[in-house]
Amino acid sequence: MLNLFRRCPHIAPAYSRKPRIRNYHAGHSDVPSKGDKVVVAMSGGVDSSVVAKILADKDYDLSAVFMRNWDTQDESGTDYGCEWKKDWEDVQRVCRMLDIPVRMVDLSREYWLRVFEPSLRIWQLGHTPNPDVWCNKEIKFGALLEHLAEDPAFSKVPWLATGHYAHKDWKLTPDSSRPRPRLLKHRDTTKDQTYYLSSMRETSLSRALFPLSGLKKTEVRELAAAWKLPTATRKESMGICFVGEKRKFDEFLSQYVTPKPGPIIDITTGKQVAAHQGLWSHTIGQGAKISGLPRKMFVVKKDLEANTIFTAPGTDHPALYVNNIRVSDFNWVWADSPPKEVLQTSGLKARMKYRHRMTDVACTVYHDDLGMRIAFDEPQRAVAPGQIASIYLGDWCLGCGVIDSSE
């Protein structure tokens, strides 16, 4: 196995009307004051660049940080052609233009231990993890905040601003003398990223700033162009952060997970139609890519003990749908006060997501002797164990857990 430790990827239009930027902290005092230290987490993309410009126009003690989360030199023996270098160069260009001090922080070891290795263990089990969710909890709003808290330049943990499409407000509860932070959906539902932020701790959320909460992506692009930011035309980053955009996922993962061949079975006939090199190489709901069959086959189930993948023809086979899921390691953002309804026999009426790019669906959340169970109001398609189940009350994201099983 290679010794690896790459970055986690992760308006004024050009006319005379002055752009209107929603005041993301209006109406509450628990926000940065004049002269407060604010750090912008920059990735080299257009979103964090616009955040930097918005905050540069405020009366804050502003600085920027770039996280290096993946060391390609340990992987390939060279930094030649490394994407993080291009990202770092773009961050520095933006900060020079805005006259903001910036530095790089190497969190590759923390990323390896707190995100990549746990994800590897889930893949090895045959499930499908979501490293980007844990990257936000453990690295950007975890290790980075820890690093800043230990910096002698800061007398206390600074505010941390990011380019996420999310919103935050504060709510006074009967059990607390101070308002508590709530993670809320972005008004542009096509870009909302609360799913990726749903594992955040309340302490981290309380120091987080989301300056793009009132802006659509198109408006962010317009702002970047109007302000002539160096990253204005940069394309959006896609793919899992440590795999990148140029490599195939299976090829990358095969460097770390030992192959374990097994059969692929047609669930409608019980016959073997192909073989796989490991349960991790297929995801429930994904096309099975089996040639020579009359219809396209889709993965509907995995038997971990038998090391077997089951497939069915078509995208709407009944075996693709489930009514309930079991969830473990649930993280409520307000860890000390989960909704009381969860413990009641009637359960908590809520909505949930099990993928980022989906409309949340109605469900009921229960907690019984076996842990947490989520019952869907209507059967849901292609729910993959290992993925993240995020719970919402309206626009309010309450937290998330890992999908263990479905039925």
Active site residue 8: no
Instruction: Give the residues across from 104 on adjacent strands.
Output: 66
Q: Which residue among the candidates 8, 82, 95, 241 is catalytic per the annotation?
A: 241
Contact 301, 290 (CB under 8 A): no
C-alpha to C-alpha distance for 128 and 387, rounded to whole angstroms: 6
Q: What's the token pair of residue 316?
A: 């709407």
C-alpha–C-alpha distance, residues 140 and 111, integer Å: 10
Q: Alpha-carbon distance 38 to 63, whole Å?
A: 6
Bridge pairing between strands 321-332 and 396-406: antiparallel
Rounded Cα distance between 253 and 328, Å, is 25
Catalytic residue, candidates 8, 82, 95, 135: 135
Q: Which residue, 235, 169, 176, is CA-closest to 395?
A: 169
CA angle 334, 339, 340 (to 5 degrees): 135
Smallest CA-to-CA distance from 41 within 160, 153, 182 is with 160
Dump the DSSP string for 359-392.
--EEEEEEEETTEEEEEEEEEEE---TTSEEEEE
C-alpha 386/C-alpha 68 separation (Å) is 26
Q: In what order do the strands lie in the sheet with 208-209?
A: 102-106, 61-68, 37-42, 159-161, 208-209
C-alpha span between 387 and 140 (Å, rounded): 20
241 carries an active-site annotation: yes
Give catalytic residues, as residue numbers. 135, 241
